[in-house]
Structure 1
Amino acid sequence: MDAMEDISAAGNLSDFEKYFTVFEGSSQEDVAHAKVFWNSLSLQPPVESSLVSVDIRQRLKVAKSLQPTNNGPKPPADSKNEEVLQKAYQRQMQDEKKRYMELARKRDEIMVLLKKQREDRIRKEMISFPHRPRKPDLTDRFSIRTPPEVMDQDIKEVQALL
């Protein structure tokens, strides 16, 4: 309250009220709740205006040095870890190879089946070939069925139009 008396004595009470909220006649608990409430209502700046974003990596990874830093012998624990990792890698490669071999075997089986189906289809078509109806020749299909006298008359009429 001393600060409030100093400000009111100076005549700048309106400036003080502009920047601070005063809770007169309220309990300390109500004042604490009101402060939390008003502080929660203050708006944060939009994400676009911040210079650093949490979800975007803004730095590149540091390159590894070309020279080894430790030239001494490696402790035995590291060699055991490397052995375990090497075995796991080999096991993974073997599993992957088995999977690819299985896929290749299935592909070969499918190709053999398709070839057999094609041969069966061709054989059945060859059996039914002699019994199939013949398609008419193109000359028969487009042959002129009008008598020559009518054709000559039509030709003369068309020439007379020109």
Structure 2
Amino acid sequence: MESPEELGADLMVFAGSSERDVLCSKIFWSSLTLQPPLESRLVSGNMKQRLRPAGEPRLGKNYTQQQLEDLKTEYFLLEAQREQDIEQRDRYLQKAKRREEIMALLKRQREDRIQKELVSLGHRPVIAEDEPRVSTPDTDVLEDIQAVKQLS
């Protein structure tokens, strides 16, 4: 008796067809077999659902490697901070130098102005002020003052 596999292979019979047509039609009909729906599969081919084989070595880092990396990172950050501090100190020194230059310039200008005033002091006209100037108040103001005195 024939096995079920042999029976299934003989079910495709093309009577009176050439060998090439039979081969093409077998390929065509075998390609039309439906795959089960994706939801009914236990494992999808595109997802990583499989466990690793037992013999594979783990690539995890141990504690000392992690400490070394932390130290390297900390050293890198400290170096960057030190460089920033140096740059900031240089900027402050440049600003202080600029300020000193400005202060020296202002001092020179003041000294020049004082020197010029001393030179011109001997050539100023002298204004005699024998009597202090007394301004005469207007009549309106005098009337207002007398009106205020009468009220009190």
Bigger-Rg structure (1/2): 2
Bin for the TM-score computed over the shorter chain: 0.3 to 0.5
Higher RCO (C-alpha 8 Å, min separation 6): 2
TM-score w.r.t. the length of structure 1 is 0.40
TM-score w.r.t. the length of structure 2 is 0.43
